[in-house]
Structure 1
Amino acid sequence: MDLLHAFVTAIIGFAAAHRLLAYGVAFLLAGAETVPVFGALVPGTAIIVGLGALVPGGTLAMWPLIGLTAAGALTGDGLSYLFGRRYKQRAMGMWPLRTRPSLLAAGRAFFARHGSKAVLISRFLPGVRAAIPMVAGMSGMSAVRFYAVDVCAAALFALAHILLGMALGASLTVLHAIAGRLVVLVLILAAALALVVWLTPRVIRYAIGLLTRLRGPLRQWAEAGDGWVRRLVRSLLDPARPEALGLLVLGALLIGGLWLFFGVLQDVVAGDPLVRADAAIFHFLQSLRTPAVDQVMVAITELGDATVVIPVLVVTLAWLAWQRAWRAVFYGIAAVAGASLFAFLLKITLQYGRPANIYAGWDAYSFPSGHATASTALYGFLVVLICREVGARARVLVTAAASVFVGGIAFSRLYLGAHWLSDIMAGLAFGVAWVALLGLVYMQHARREVGASGLAAAGLSALLLAGGLHIATAHAKDMRRYALTLPLRHMTMADWHNSGWASLPVRRVDLMGDYEEPFILQWAGALAPLKAALRAQGWQTPAPWDLSSSVAWLLPDAKPNALPVLPHLDNGRSEALVMIKTSGNVPSGQRVILRVWPSGTVLTSAGATQPLWIGTVVTEKIEHLKPFASLVDERNDVNRALHALETSLPGIELKKRTLKEADWNGVVLLGQS
């Protein structure tokens, strides 16, 4: 084991010293891992992750490394597949395969159990990775089918290993996103994508099971009387209609979509916590933005522009007209036009401003998101048409693919600061409800087939062509439009000292929009003088988040200054300064924590500008759960922590808010560098 560790370390060190050769090493190792028998001896995974760790420091570039790793994996798998397809059963008698019959046996059992999915799954399982491509060839799996799955497997393999290496290289820990913003964003997107892919088939199966159980009681109720509601229910539950279950699913989506839409609308109109969460999530996502991801997100958001939506709609309508499915043509127009018109009318009625000044005129209003509403309506109705004519497995795949695509467009609007979270939620909810309503009416009367496979091919072709042309012609302009610009508030130094300080936020807002601890410090200018003044009074920088400090939480007698400080966000912003005090007037086993964030306000004086910072101070008590671990318990008494900070900054100006709160006397400290 020590020898293998030394070998891996030497390879990574060689790659760091010879940058260009490192990409070749990644290509060769990714391919070598699928060589039968010998592939099990190649430490490719460890070395590729190690190469990924060189990316955050700038030694290697991310995309070339990912691309060559994926290409190497695809090449190795392809050669192994062709070998198995060429020699079939004769391969078992060749050296070195005849020395390891158990490898092929395990591979065959795995392939028989999972079928085509085995090619994808085995890429991440060292035990069978070296056998499955060859077994697929020996089993007669078609080349088109094999490579269609293997391209996805190679891409996911490369992304997972390089991103993991990048995370390790940037010292990600379990409790704090210390890695680069790119890694954090990729993890968020990966989690969201995994949730959609995992949740969609389960929700569909659960809904179908629930509706199947309710069909009997509902039918009995509908047949027990008369009235338009009972007649509608009898029509939906007619056992002679094969689409009855689909109609019930659409009914459930209609009710759920309307419930969510009106719930969001009520929160926006009333200014409930969702509105505060809007701002917090906006600032959080803006803090994660990087130029490389901006390029991708702008391209995704362009796929939801009218320049793409309209051609896709026209092509799909042309296909439906060619099939003489005139009713589907009418409902398709109603889906997109109705959703777009509703979004426009609601925008000009509420006149709810966007997070940033990206658009002018009526487009400057944001609620609800037109991109989310129109995309949900268009692709949602296409899903209704396609799912009416395909099998159960295809329905799940089509629905999941459309959900991921529309979800990607919606997330890109959030990421680029074009919309608030409430805009996106309302747009998606109304789009789903509108599509469900049209789908219910359409399926009640539609009898003509629309050619599901041809419709899907026509829509996808139009999307690729129109989307590609739009991205090629508008991307540079849109990159300038969606450039990162955070709004700043300007205030004079005199106004701040007089009464402007009272206009700043009173309490921290967490990512869910809830109010937390009060802001008791406002500091103008650089933070270095504040840090130096506190150090002189016994304050210190907390332990950084790394492996050793994370392990300290598992010690039953950890000292207050040995435990890293849990991160807090204010309106989505990360702390700019964190300091702790564990001595002096601080009781034993406790620590006082000062956290400082940018306020979003700039002070001006005599033509010069300086940032204004806001901070909170709390007391934490260390709880020792012997013999297991240590925990922290945040005290509710802000006044005691405030006194510790005030005595550490002699001469600081005191202001007082007219508040009556049990845990805070309303005092705010004003200081400047």
Structure 2
Amino acid sequence: MTTAELAEFLALHLWAVLFAITSLMLLFAWMLWSGLQRYGSPMATLLRTWVARIGPHAQRLPLPSAVHGMWQMARQLGIQVLVSVAIAVTACLGFVEIADEIAVDEDLGQFDVALSAGLSRHASDEQLRIFAVLTDLGDKGFLIPLAGCIGLYLMFRRRWFLAITWIVATATGALMNTALKAIFERARPQWLHDFASADGWSFPSGHSSGAFIVYGLLGYLAVIHSPQRFHLPIAIMAMALIVCVGFSRVILQVHYFSDVLGGYAFGAAWVAAWIAGLEAYRRRPGAIPA
């Protein structure tokens, strides 16, 4: 199947494709969460055992003092911080790979154009109307007041550190996305309907990265302050919102598919980096629970 044929198939079977993608992502989230709940503690115990065994041997190796310092820091930070850092680095690398493939002569760039053209032919007014509503959940006119309300709530609860972190993380994330758009200067696709409007550069998608940052960090805060039985529903809800907002931008043809992927990659890196910092802060000696 050629790139154009694949794009045409996806555009023609829009609802089935969206249902399949969303179901697979939610299934992956459930499997990952179940695996962490079932095997997370044993794996962490096993890792700590390996670190304890390897540590004395590593100390005797003729390594620079900085390496030994990093080893000790990794032991103190814990598995949660290390996993978050690994996710942030992986997402950054993914963003670089996506950005390298958006040119019109690259396969991903050609798929972008073909999918946008296919959607312009096959997306019905009813579909566009539905996704025009969903896309507002990632609009700055919705996310900024939501982020402000969350910040005020945290201040009201006297969670000063979390409130400042939340405001800085969401605000600087938006500024970083704007800076990235100015760096890449990618033009938007042409859309031939009045269900949505957009201006400015296209890559990475601000709606996608904004939804990932706000809903991702909000989901994290909800998880660490709620009973365990609510953790999976919170994660699923956050992921569903992120998926709906991102794909709405493609279906409305105001962003290319790779714009959304780039927004997701940047948002994932940003959220993972801030979660790593928050987890390190929560686990410092004598820390007061956040």
**TM-score in terms of structure 2 length:** 0.80
Shift of 1:392: 3.9
Report the secondary structure of 2:102's partner residue: helix
- Aligned counterparts of 1:222 and 1:324: Cα–Cα separation in 2: 40
1:435 aligns with 2:264: no
**Alpha-carbon distance in 2 for matches of 1:378, 1:191:** 25
More helix by share: 2
Q: Note if 1:308 corresponds to 2:142.
A: yes
Tell me by how many angstroms 1:370 deviates. Answer: 0.5
1:19-76 deviation digits (Å, cap 9, x = unpaired): xxxxxxxxxxxxxxxxxxxxxxxxxxxxxxxxxxxxxxxxxxxxxxxxxxxxxxxxxx
> Residues 122-137 of structure 1: matches in 2 within 5 Å?
none
In the alignment, is the contact (CA less than 8 A) between 2:81 and 2:277 conserved in 1? no
Deviation at 1:222, TM superposition (A): 5.2
The yes-or-no answer on 1:285 pairing with 2:126 is no
Provide closer, same or farther for how the CA distance between residues 218 and 420 of structure 1 changes in structure 2, counting only shifts above 3 A: farther
Residue in structure 1 matched with residue 18 of structure 2 by the alignment: 189
SS in 2 for 1:413: helix
C-alpha distance in 2, partners of 1:219/1:281?
Answer: 52
Q: What are the Cα deviations for residues 107-155 of structure 1, in whole angstroms up to 9, with x where unaligned?
A: xxxxxxxxxxxxxxxxxxxxxxxxxxxxxxxxxxxxxxxxxxxxxxxxx
SS at match of 1:268: coil
Q: Deviations over 1:286-318 (max 9, x none)?
A: 333111111110001111111100111011101
Are the equivalent residues in 2 in contact too, given 1:222–1:234 (CA < 8 A)? Answer: no
Q: Tell me what 1:274 maps to.
A: 108
Structure with a larger share of its residues in strand? 1
2:70 aligned to 215, 229, 236, which one?
229
The answer on whether the counterparts of 1:389 and 1:449 sit within 8 Å (CA) in structure 2 is: no
Amino acid at match of 2:49: G
Residue of structure 1 in register with 2:233 after alignment:
397
Give the structure 2 partner of residue 81 of structure 1.
Answer: none
1:228 to 1:270, Cα distance in 2 relative to 1, 3 A: farther
Q: Select the structure with the greater relative contact order (CA < 8 A; seq sep ≥ 6).
A: 2
Looking at structure 2, the residues matched to 256 and 413 of structure 1 have their Cα atoms a distance apart, in angstroms, of 24
Structure with larger Rg: 1
Instruction: Output the CA distance in 2 between the equivalents of 1:190 and 1:444.
Output: 37
Equivalent in the alignment of 1:354? 188
Amino acid at match of 2:203: F
Once the two structures are TM-superposed, the CA of residue 206 in structure 1 deviates from its matched residue by 4.3
Of the three residues 247, 253, 259, the one matched with 1:411 is 247
Partner of residue 326, structure 1:
160
Q: 1:422 aligns with which of 232, 245, 258?
A: 258
Mapped partners of 2:249, 2:116: distance in 1 = 10
Distance 1:256 1:219 in 2: 27
Match of 1:201 in 2: 30
Where structure 1 has 5 or more consecutive residues not aligned to the other structure, the ranges are 1-176, 238-244, 451-673
Structure 1 residues 328 and 374 mapped into 2: Cα distance closer, same or farther (>3 Å)? same
Q: Counterparts of 1:415 and 1:331 in 2: how far apart (Å)?
A: 33
Separation in structure 2 between the aligned mates of residue 290 and residue 359 of structure 1, nearest angstrom: 17
Tell me the alpha carbon deviations over residues 74-103 of structure 1, each in whole angstroms, 9 at most, x when there is no partner.
xxxxxxxxxxxxxxxxxxxxxxxxxxxxxx
8 Å CA contact 1:251, 1:437 repeated in 2: yes
1:471-498 per-position Cα deviation (integer Å, ceiling 9, x unaligned): xxxxxxxxxxxxxxxxxxxxxxxxxxxx
Q: 2:99 aligns with which of 265, 276, 300?
A: 265
C-alpha distance in 1, partners of 2:185/2:120?
23
Alpha-carbon distance in 2 for matches of 1:374, 1:394: 24
Return closer, same or farther for 1:279/1:317 CA change in 2, 3 Å cut-off. same
Quick one: distance in 1 between partners of 2:47 and 2:103? 36
Counting only pairs closer than 5 Å after superposition, residues 441-460 of structure 1 correspond to structure 2 as: 441-446=277-282, 447-449=287-289
For the residues of structure 2 that align with 1:250 and 1:275, how far apart are their CA atoms? 30
In the other structure, the counterpart of 2:201 is: 365
Alpha-carbon displacement from aligned partner over 1:314-344 (angstroms, at most 9, x marks no partner) = 1110111112111111221222112211111
Residue 232 of structure 1 deviates from its aligned partner by: 2.3
Q: Distance in 2 between matches of 1:333 and 1:228?
A: 32
1: CA distance between counterparts of 2:124 and 2:103? 33
Tell me the distance in 2 between the aligned counterparts of 1:448 and 1:204. Answer: 27
**Could you say which residue in structure 1 is the equivalent of 2:224?**
388
CA RMSD of aligned residues (A): 2.7
Alignment deviations for residues 414-457 of structure 1 (CA, whole Å, 9 cap, x no partner): 0000111111111111111111111111121245556xxxxxxx
Conserved? CA contact 1:222–1:233, under 8 Å: no
| Contact kept in structure 1, 2:206 and 2:263, CA below 8 Å | yes
- How does the TM-score come out when normalised to structure 1? 0.36
1:255 is aligned to 89
Distance 1:312 1:258, change over 3 A: same
Amino acid at match of 2:254: A
The answer for unaligned runs of 5 or more in structure 2 is 1-7, 60-64
8 Å contact from structure 1 (residues 383, 399) kept in 2? yes
**Contact kept in structure 1, 2:123 and 2:251, CA below 8 Å:** yes
Equivalent residues of 2:188, 2:255 under 8 A apart: yes
SS in 1 for 2:101: helix
Percent of aligned pairs with the same amino acid: 24
1:381, 1:435 within 8 Å by CA — same for their partners in 2? Answer: yes
In 1, Cα distance between the equivalents of 2:241 and 2:159? Answer: 26
Contact 1:219–1:233, Cα closer than 8 Å, also in 2 = no
The structure-2 alpha-carbon separation of the partners of 1:220 and 1:434, relative to structure 1 and needing over 3 Å to count, comes to farther
**Equivalent residue number for residue 151 of structure 2:** 317
Shift of 1:268: 2.6
Does structure 2 retain, via aligned residues, the 8 Å contact 1:325–1:448?
no
